[in-house]
Chain A
């Protein structure tokens, strides 16, 4: 439901004053509670579900396929998501998929997907966003992160591996171990990228914005967090008529805020996976 003029001005004044006052009394850096679970779907290599306080929910399943490749160094990852209520290939869906896909492709070392010289794993990350009230990017990224943490790839069957590495590469079609426990975690040495979105209102930056807060924002900024630092940055439109003009200060402020938020979220999500 669109905000009335009075509501809009009330919200934008309270969000842009210093210190800001959010409608739900949260801190600028505070997230709403989330309900998360990993490893929920037996037909996938890795899966996760996250539900937000406002009813937003996302389920992500990661599946691996064996493909024959000609160029060995390519990383084959496909990210796809289905936002219920929106048509396929809507701008929002494109933003979500392309951001995540680029982030994963750029950070995932190709050796992790190697099976033999000729064969590689191709990773499919598929998400369904069952419902969203606020911007679904953070939700989708967190769920994907958790699902990738949960992902296991089967090892080659012991009897199909010959005495040395050359023999192993000669084998035509790889044979996998039939024991599901005989598998490697994808994220043993690699940690997936985490995309976070913040909205900017005046000089203030807010994480995990509700739908109403995004309605009065000047715009949004997303950062890609990987390996303890911010590796990517992009300005996002958070509403139809946003100005998308920010000062350098507010952008650097937003990057700092998002970096510290991403660090905390990464820690929290890793705890969910291990618990």
Chain B
């Protein structure tokens, strides 16, 4: 793939026409499923589209889910078979899906103010309906927005972004073709701070190149936080004007 397509042109343009530090088109909406869930959001990052429903905080359905001093979060992820160019049906117990679920779950257990809801549960359902790279980051961003919509208190937004390294060039927010051509990492930060709540890198990369990648990903996270924040404020304002809560 990489040999036939020019991933990064000498003029500094990527295959979709972006510069190295530009994120893909970002669109988000909250409170999209008001009837079926307590909090919901839809996120589009480029051609990746994720729907998130949050149910709770509520009384646990199972006794085994009760944690006496904090809320228990469970994450379920459904990948639509039609989400990629080639149709592919994944079983529900696919190891990659399980891994993503558990990393999102562990991250949000620390990001929400968990001790305020002892003996209760929050169910997060994520549906990936279209994927074009950056699935984990879209899931994390969607979960943040849905949790905000559900009124779950959090320390700050959790925002995620990917960054890759092609030779010595850092590229921000990769799409699927770029992801297959270079090592990349997914990073999530707590709001606009420099606190990292998730860092995932599954490929080999030289140690001295890790830092520029992390710096780029962090600036991407901060940018995405601003985009999400403006959407949340816009939504809150429109609800205030309508007078509906």
Contact = CB atoms under 8 A, between A and B. Distances in A.
Contacts of B81: 61, 63, 80, 124, 126
A62 B82 CA distance: 7
A124 B36 CA distance: 28
A24 interface: no
Which among B78, B82, B87, B89 has the greatest number of chain A C-beta atoms within 10 A? Answer: B82
Which applies to chain B's interface (DSSP): helix, strand, loop or mixed? Answer: loop
Given A128-B127, A130-B36, A47 B92 contact: no
Given A43-B130, A44-B82, A131-B53, A124 B87 contact: yes
Interface in B20-49: 33, 35-37, 47, 49
Given A59-B129, A84-B78, A130-B51, A43 B36 contact: no
Nearest to A127: B80
B82 A41 contact: yes
B36 A61 contact: no
A56 interface: yes
B82 A61 contact: yes
The 3 closest A-B pairs by CB, nearest first: A61-B82, A55-B36, A55-B35
Contacts of A59: 80, 127, 129
A129 B211 CA distance: 43
10 contacts: A41-B49, A41-B130, A43-B131, A44-B82, A53-B35, A61-B129, A130-B51, A130-B53, A131-B36, A131-B53
A205 B47 CA distance: 45
Given A84-B78, A126-B87, A128-B80, A41 B129 contact: yes
A80 B80 CA distance: 11
A56 B36 contact: yes
Contacts, number: 71
Interface in B125-161: 125, 127, 129-132
Contacts of B76: 84
Contacts of B114: none
A7 B125 CA distance: 32
A54 B82 contact: no
Contacts of A25: none
Question: Is the interface on chain B under 10, 10 to 19, 20 to 34, or 35 or more residues?
Answer: 20 to 34
Interface of B: 33, 35-37, 47, 49, 51, 53, 76, 78, 80-85, 87, 89, 91-92, 125, 127, 129-132
Nearest to A44: B82
B41 to A, nearest CB: 13
B36 to A, nearest CB: 3
B78 A42 contact: no
Given A43-B83, A61-B80, A84-B78, 17 more contacts: A42-B47, A43-B82, A43-B130, A47-B82, A53-B35, A57-B33, A59-B129, A61-B82, A80-B89, A82-B78, A124-B81, A124-B82, A126-B81, A130-B33, A130-B36, A131-B36, A131-B53
B139 to A, nearest CB: 15
A26 B216 CA distance: 57
A153 to B, nearest CB: 14
Given A41-B130, A43-B85, A126-B87, A55 B33 contact: yes
Nearest to B87: A63
A37 B112 CA distance: 34
Contacts of A62: 82
A262 to B, nearest CB: 26
